[in-house]
Structure 1
Amino acid sequence: MRLSLRFKVSALVLLLVMPLFLFLYYTNIYSTNIIREKVANSASDTLSLHLSSLDELLEQTGTYLTRMANENMLLELYSESEPDSVNYYLSLRKLMDQWYNDVSYYSIIRTVFVYHQKRDELYLSSQREYYDEKDVIRSGLSPQLESFKLPTSLKWEIVNVGGEPALFKALPDKSGSLLIGVLVSIDALAQPLTQLGSARSDEQIGIIAQDGRLLWGHFMQQDLDRIHVLMKNESNRSSHPIRLNDGNNYLLVGQTSLYSDLNVFILLDEATLLDELPLFQRVINGIPLALMIVLVILLMLLSRLVFKPIHSLTYGMKMLGNGKLDFRLKEGNSKEFQLISRQFNRMAEQIGDLKIDVYEEKMKVQQAELKHLQAQINPHFFMNSLNIVYHLVELQQQSLIKKMISHLVSYFRFIMSTNDTWIELSKEMNHIRNYLEIQKVMYPEKLIFHEQLPKELEDVVILPLLVQPFVENAIKHGFVSNAQKFFVRIIAHEEVGDDGVPYVAIQISDSGQGFKEQQLVMLNLGVYEKEPTDRQLGIWNVRRRLKMFYGDQAVLAFRNDPHGGGVVELKLPIRRRT
């Protein structure tokens, strides 16, 4: 394959500037990675420090829960006391006072509660409204309240209580009849993390569970899925680049809690990070852009002075090749291209004059061939028609003779007046109706035909005698048994092709034996049109006329109906008289 002049010149210029561009590009990438790595390490250290503080709070809260479950005498008194006893109410009152102080001291604790399984009693102290919190604990922690087993892990469990995520941990007391539990507010745990973004407005902080659920923060689900996938990656990288739905690139820094399945992450906007690069880095970024601008200007000049005139000349040759003989080139500013344009225009005029003469001669030949093709169709039915009339005269069937002669007159009047190149589809259907009525005289009560032509398609013009040969072939080759009725259907409808052009689709089907497989393949391949015989002369004529007047737009297809019989489908672009 030969390369164009534009490609060769552009490739040469690129070959000269590409090494310098690649070097500057590598320097830019290297500097950006250094900045990204330093910022990521700093953010990771800060996040680790805050997460250690959170883990320490969770550890202290867990120790508090263990001590309360094993050493609190009030819980033991409450467990052993009967309801409505003095000790029962006294122990509950002191427990509530003690828990109130504990909840105030441990700022991350949302609720402390005790559940008596045998009596199905639940008492608590919470930062939330008492009865609302009691209801949401019963509904949200019902599986945990029914289980009094020691936890198998030191980690806090993530639960959803009242539509809000929280950390949960519970222990049975020494008697085994009480379950002492603590709910830790994730929002309270996240409050120290908000201080990370106080100095930088471009940071986004969030907390997710191991399964990817968002526990704190505001993120779109698609962004959250990407963050979860990156944080599940077990590589040793402390940061990951990520692109969110807002179209910006971020640096993801994440850490995992030791005492829970919380994953805390920070998103740093890379655009803000790179704004802190020194002036020299910005100059390096500008040099490749300047080179590209110079290259574009050079190519634009070459395009205007050289490439555009050559393209115009190439386009003109293509137009001449496509038959646009009236196309002319505009003379440019260059003397050389002015001379080329004048010579091209003179050559186009000479080709146009020559092609007009050849075209006129070809039209005369095609018109003569068309008349010959139509003449081959006219006598096809003549002898059979006379034979039918002769037998009707012998039988003295006067009414049938009149009917037969009426249809014959209409039939042969149409045949002998097909000098028009185009006729309405309704006239073609009337002609086919006359033909079928004649056939019904020969096969009374054996031949049944059905036609369907929508009113809006009656004025569509087609070539004359385009459908009739297929109806004739259906009766001639499909009607092989007089013992059964024979059906012929002609249905026309409008459809839009893949190219957006409206077509009229005409389907001719019968109830005969259908086409043989080999015959069907040869018909669809158009083999018969190359070497027509008397048996396929009608099909050959139709194919030649379709090719002559419609080109490649017309479709002629043959197939067998699954329920029996052959089907011929003819699809033509819709034309109407102007």
Structure 2
Amino acid sequence: MKRVRKRLLLTVCAMVLPLAVTLIIYNIYSMTALNRQAAQSAAGTGYIYEQFYEKSIKTVESYMISEMVGNDFRRLNYPLESLQAYLCGQNILENFTKYLTSDVDGLVALEFYSESNDLVRIKHATGTRYVPTKQSGICRAVYEEMKQGELNSDWYVIPVEDDYFLIRILKYGSMYIGAVMDFDQFMKPSSEVEGRSSYLVYATQDGQALNQKNLLEEKQIELKQNSKGYYITGKGMERYLVVYEQLPYGDLVQYYISPYGSFWNYMGTLQWFLLLCSFIFILLIPILYFYMYRFFVAPLEGLKATMEEIAEGDLNAYAEENSDVEEFRLMATTFNHMMNQIQKLKIDAYEQERRIQNATIQYLQIQIRPHFFLNCLKNFYALAEQKEYHSIQELTLALSSYLRKVITYEEDTISVRKEMESVESYLKLSQLGLSVPVNYNIAVDEKLEEFQILPLSVLTFVENAVKYGVQSQKTLLISIRVSLLPGETPEDTYVCITILDNGPGFPEDLLHFLNKEEFAEEKTAGIGIQNVWKRIKIRYEEKATILYSNSNGACVEMYLPYEKY
């Protein structure tokens, strides 16, 4: 009898103990999984706000760069009369005012400082409602940062009274431009749970809060980092789930703080009963999961992973065809065949597009050359009329040397060095064929001598400068400079090619059309300028630009992307 009881006890223990252990493990796992799921959901929400933060930062930086290449900023790079400096400053402030009304999240002020003219101005956003002392403090703090000379290459934090602000300062020559972002002005969470709101806090890497400091002290919310990526903090029953994200600008951390509700508070009698029943069938779950995963989930996940690789640009990705289910094998085979066809069609379309572009560029290049040859024939005629036979001989030899370099261009691009050789040959040729002297200066950065550009892109503007510059009957000076404008990334690095002369400059009406790139009519500008513009747009699309201006003569600035296209 005792032996039977012992066996019965062992049997009951063998049935109950595993169930009890399983229940404890399940409860722990459920709470952990729910916390992790809640953290993932909160992290997704925090990531959205991080994207808004990054978008605002990029938008402001792009605006600052575009503003710095404007005429007013470039003029203030040099000493001006007080009235001219004041008018340029007012124009910049008007641009600031328009941009500040565009509702960029976080942006509260824009400031510039002209070192050459000792001129500093700031414009605050109308919705900030700072007291005058706070506005003055912001202006003074940014101005002091500008005067230091050694600028930070990224966004960074400065204190103003009892608040912190995120600033970025860029320099161009002797001009500085700064943007001020208020952490409290970035997009804020608006959802509530059980009457409690979510919060967004920005902090340094060591956990120093830059906003919401009073709230953190009142709620006893701690800012920290751990290996899980989330934690629960707060006081008493008022608990909060905190997830954090490293921000791409400013070396800061974004903390998303949301109300935390306990798992057990939401379980009723029915839920408890279902939870108990689930443990009865828990032994069947691994078996069902194994077969479901093997026959259905794994093939679908493999196909999904392949689609994600294709979406990221890898057209060589293929789906596995070794599934145990015939339908999945057939689907994978059909999908791979479809991708082969798409890849072939894409290659054919790309090759066709490249052939069309190359044909267009070659046509435009050929269209430019007769313009120069006609000018040479006119010079021959004029020298022959004056019986300058020796000059005709020299002009013939110079023209022959020039044509060897120019007329044999068959490549899509040539180096800056070769283009400058063609320019020098042309200018020497012009010195022989013209009665008006032509002097020139060419300065090329050594690192850019082999940089590839479009053939005749510089020579066309030099020819234009000679054509109109000699009409003033004075010594024509032409300056050509090729320099590198470094950026934070290779995509932001540009090559600037400047052609400057002391001729009569561009007519104002023509200048308006050139800078707007309006070539709807054939007579809007010369065929050479139009062809250079068309070829650059075909080659670089929207990554390159040409700026035209008058500065004691005509000035042409070409900005080409430095990275290989």
Larger Rg: 1
Specify which structure has the bigger relative contact order, considering alpha-carbon pairs within 8 angstroms and separated by 6 or more residues.
1
